[in-house]
A and B are shown apart, each in its own frame.
Chain A
Amino acid sequence: MGTLRVLLFVSLMGVCALAQSPAYGVGRTPSAEEIRAWDIAIGPTGEELPPGRGTPKEGAQVYRAKCAGCHGATGIGGSSPILKSKAGPDVEHWARGRILPLRSPFATTVWDYINRAMPLNREGTLTADEVYALTAFLLYINDVIPEDAVLDPQSVPKVKMPIGDRYAALPEWKPRTPRLKDYPY
Chain B
Amino acid sequence: MDSKRPARREFLKSGAALAGGFTLGAATPANGQAPPSPPMIKGDKDQIAYGDRSRFVTSVRIAHGGRPSPDAFGLVFHVATPLQDSVGVVTPSSLHFVGTTRGSYIPEIDPRTHRLLIHGMVDRPLTFTMEDLKRLPSVTRLHFMECAGNRTSPRAKTVQESHGMTSCAEWTGVLLSVLLKECGLKGGASWFVAEGSEEVKGASSMPIAKAMDDCVVAYGMNGEDLRPQQGFPLRLMVPGFEGIFHTKYLRRIKVVDRYYMNYNDYGHLDRDPKVAALEYQIGPKSVITFPSGGHQLPGRGSYEIRGLAWSGGGAIRKVEVSTDGGRRWNVAEIKGTAQRMAHARFTHQWNWDGNETELLSRCTDEIGQVQPSRAQVAQYWKVPLTPSYSVPGLDNTIQPWRIATDGSVHNGNA
Contacts and interface: CB of A to CB of B under 8 A. Distances in A.
B200 A171 contact: no
A117 B269 contact: no
Decide if the interface of chain A is mainly helix, strand, loop or mixed.
loop
B213 A180 contact: no
Interface string B117-157: 10100011111110010011000000000000000000000
A163 B379 CA distance: 29
Most buried by A among B102, B209, B214, B254: B254
Size category of the binding interface on chain B: 35 or more
A20 B368 CA distance: 35
B117 A20 contact: no
Interface residues of A, number: 55
A116 B209 CA distance: 27
Given A35-B125, A43-B256, A170 B268 contact: yes
B329 interface: no
A173 B32 CA distance: 67
Contact of B207 (A40, A105, A113, A172): A172
A103 interface: yes
Contact of B182 (A26, A112, A177, A183): A26
Contacts of A98: 267
Interface string A21-60: 1111011111000110011111110000000000000000
Nearest to A114: B263
A26 B127 CA distance: 9
A13 interface: no
B259 interface: yes
Most buried by B among A44, A101, A170: A170
Interface in A114-162: 116-117, 120-121, 123
Nearest to A180: B277
Nearest to B377: A184
Interface of B: 102, 117, 119, 123-129, 132, 135-136, 178, 181-185, 193, 195, 199-201, 203, 207, 209-210, 213-214, 251-252, 254, 256, 258-263, 265-281, 283-284, 312-314, 366-372, 376-377, 379-380, 393, 396
8 contacts: A27-B126, A104-B269, A112-B263, A167-B269, A169-B273, A176-B367, A184-B372, A185-B283
